């Protein structure tokens, strides 16, 4: 995990260093890393790792600002409306910029016009798991069980709780 944070930090610093603001003493005040996830989740955890490393490198505090909701659209809109001065940074998932524009008709921001991608911070796997008591040992068995018991299984969704796991429940 530390390797990912250091890689992300190196790219962020390279991008920041190439701006005219750097020549003027950037940063001369705290930075805000806006996250579209609730505190305590994996996105928040990742943001805090990046913020800690970035704070050490630039000599200014990097404050994690959680703005969960609407599939991270609240966070994205907040950053899109912020001054383009390099002090407000968005930590977003691929869904924010690749999927949400297709799901939401009236976004007030545009992923191409309003943002400049800096780096890929992490790769995450999606894990499907069930409790051992269910006796399901493969994806094929899970699909068969869900089909045979309509309405009895559920999964958390990103809009209700950002998670990288799904759990079939009885």
CA distance 67 to 32: 12
pLDDT tens profile 130-140: 889 989 999 99
How many other C-beta atoms are found inside a 10 Å radius of the C-beta of residue 75? 24
Cβ pair 47, 91 in contact under 8 A = yes
CA 55 to chain centre: 19
Q: Return left, alpha or beta for 53; rule: phi > 0 is left, psi -120 to 50 is alpha, else beta.
A: alpha
Cβ pair 79, 88 in contact under 8 A = yes
Which pair of structure tokens corresponds to residue 98?
């690749």
pLDDT tens profile 49-92: 999 999 999 999 999 999 999 989 999 999 999 999 999 999 98
Burial (CB count <10 Å: 0-12, 13-18, 19+), residue 45 = middle
Cβ pair 30, 78 in contact under 8 A = no
- Of 6 and 58, the structure prediction assigns the larger pLDDT to 58
Residue that the structure tokens 């505090």 belong to:
61
pLDDT tens profile 148-165: 998 888 766 554 433 333
What number is the average pLDDT over the span 118-129? Answer: 82
Cβ pair 40, 32 in contact under 8 A = no
């Amino acid at each position: 995990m530390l390797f990912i944070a250091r890689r992300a930090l190196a790219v962020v610093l390279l991008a920041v260093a190439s701006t005219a603001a750097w020549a003027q003493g950037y940063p001369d005040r705290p930075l805000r890393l806006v996250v579209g996830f609730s505190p305590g989740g994996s996105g928040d955890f990742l943001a805090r790792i990046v913020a800690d490393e970035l704070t050490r490198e630039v000599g200014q505090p990097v404050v994690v600002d959680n703005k969960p909701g609407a599939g991270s659209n609240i966070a994205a809109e907040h950053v899109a409306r912020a001054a383009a001065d390099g002090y407000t940074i968005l930590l977003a998932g691929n869904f924010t910029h690749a999927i949400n524009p297709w799901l939401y008709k009236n976004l007030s921001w545009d992923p191409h016009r309003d943002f400049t991608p800096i780096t890929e911070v992490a790769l995450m796997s999606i894990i499907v798991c069930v409790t051992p008591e269910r006796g399901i040992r493969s994806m094929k068995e899970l699909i068969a069980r869900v089909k045979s018991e309509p309405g009895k299984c559920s999964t958390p969704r990103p809009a209700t709780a950002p998670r990288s796991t799904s759990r079939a429940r009885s």
